[in-house]
């Protein structure tokens, strides 16, 4: 039915229909020109998918957005994430120990229009969760720079920052800055004690009203921690 619909209805019209349905389902969801999301993607609210970007079979937390020309599939994105331009995932896996790395010798999906095998011989994607729903999990308050590639099976911790042009091949710890090809640790954003505090406190799980009322504290980690710890002392 889905393939028949694509043959009968122009892709541009399908995207318009999907955007209309998704905007009716979700709060403050905005799409840029030629942006696309499928109906299996769930938005928590206040999300923006910018020009020429697409996302499918995914979950996106409150306040997170995708910049232009980004393409993501089967990814779980936390709250308050900033995803740069031209970010990609879902690259798949080719065998390195077969005589040929061409999919005609290990896959029945006919990526090149044909196949020499009648059964799949390798797992073509590496999932990050046991339920095999997501190829990548991106934590909360993560900033991913432009032109970043995320390999299958990678988890990115809360508060992490990925530099422009990085190719991420392994998990990233919370509040760690990485960059390069392959991506390597540059430094941590904060001390171990501060990182532990932020991971435990999880400000992104506070309601929007609380965050709005305390937004003036977010530019100074010492002031923020002193206020939070002082509030606990008063209870």
Annotate 108-124 with b (16+ C-beta within 10 A) or e (fewer).
eeeeeeebeeeeeeeeb
Which tokens go with 79?
Answer: 């709250």
CA proximity to 216, closest of 207, 206, 227: 227
Cis check: omega of the bond before 182, within 30 degrees of 0: yes
Is the CA virtual torsion 143, 170, 155, 228 positive or negative? negative
Task: Just list the catalytic residues.
Answer: 94
Specify burial of residue 66 (Cβ count, 10 A radius: 0-12, 13-18, 19+).
Answer: buried
Instruction: Please name the residue ranges forming H helices in the chain.
Output: 2-8, 11-25, 192-201, 208-214, 221-234
Q: Per the structure block, which two tokens stand in for 179?
A: 């960059």
Enter the tokens of residue 143.
């900033």
Is it true that the peptide bond before 45 is cis, omega within 30 degrees of 0? Answer: no
CA 231 vs. chain centroid, Å, equals 33
Q: How far apart are CA 48 and CA 50, in angstroms?
A: 6
């Amino acid at each position: 039915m889905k393939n028949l619909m694509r043959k009968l209805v122009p892709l541009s019209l399908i995207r318009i229909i999907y955007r209309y349905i998704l905007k009716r389902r979700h709060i403050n969801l905005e799409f840029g020109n030629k942006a696309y999301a499928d109906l299996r993607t769930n938005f928590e609210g206040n999300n923006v998918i910018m020009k020429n970007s697409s996302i499918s079979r995914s979950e996106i937390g409150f306040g997170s957005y995708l910049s232009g020309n980004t393409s993501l599939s089967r990814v779980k994105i936390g709250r308050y994430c900033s995803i740069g331009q031209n970010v990609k995932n879902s690259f798949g896996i080719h065998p390195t120990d077969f005589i040929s790395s061409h999919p005609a010798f290990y896959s029945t999906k006919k990526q090149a229009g044909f196949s020499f095998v009648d059964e799949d011989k390798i797992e073509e994607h590496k999932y990050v969760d046991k339920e095999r729903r997501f190829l990548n999990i991106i934590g909360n308050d993560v900033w991913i720079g432009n032109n970043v590639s995320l390999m299958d099976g990678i988890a990115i911790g809360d508060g992490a920052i990925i530099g422009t042009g990085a190719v991420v091949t392994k998990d990233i710890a919370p509040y760690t800055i990485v960059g390069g090809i392959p991506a390597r640790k540059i430094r941590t954003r904060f001390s171990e004690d501060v990182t532990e505090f932020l991971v435990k406190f999880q400000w992104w799980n506070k309601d929007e009203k609380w965050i709005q009322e305390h937004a003036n504290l977010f530019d100074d980690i010492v002031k923020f921690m002193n206020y939070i710890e002082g509030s606990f002392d008063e209870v």
